Amino acid sequence: MAGADQPVHEGRCTCGQIRYRMLSDPMFVHCCHCTWCQRETGSAFALNAMIEADRVELLAGEVEVVDTPSASGKGQRISRCPVCKVAVWSNYAGSGALVRFIRVGTLLEPGRLPPDVHIFTSTRLPWVALPEGARVFEEYYRTGEEWPAASLERRAAIRAKLEAGSS
């Protein structure tokens, strides 16, 4: 999957027990300003890169999966380092184990994956300034209107797998 035209992104937890590699660019990057993400991260927002699980290679360690409540009521599974407890990715109920929401801050070069959109900005902390020209949504958005065609194709392939029962 990775090659000259497919960027590789590597990441790790704080202590280095968990190391991983994204074998391609993500489908999309969210900067979520909802109050749930603020609470879960202990910060102003969560920055997640959505990518197919089969495009993420675990290079070292084994993650500890923690079932965590979510605003949807369906929960999420946060994968953390068992030593330093840093969250490296999540899986949400909608796409099960097929899609990982990589915590961009755990990448070795997080600046390579800026957010495609800022969502749930109705609860954005007032001192967080958004860049001029950023795609900003008070709540969520219509995926089909915002995602690039190639990412929508990848999403369709995931949906087909989900419908076939392979989550």
What pLDDT digit, counting tens, does each position of 16-25 carry? 999 999 999 9
The Cα–Cα gap between 34 and 44 comes to 9
The Cα–Cα gap between 118 and 91 comes to 20
List, for residues 18-68, the tens digit of each pLDDT value. Answer: 999 999 999 999 999 999 999 988 999 999 999 999 999 999 999 999 988
Domains of the chain: 9-163 (3.90.1590.10)
**The two three-digit tokens of residue 33, written as one number:** 């300003």
- Which class for 134: exposed (0-12), middle (13-18), buried (19 or more C-beta within 10 A)? middle
Placement of tokens 């409540």 in the chain: 69
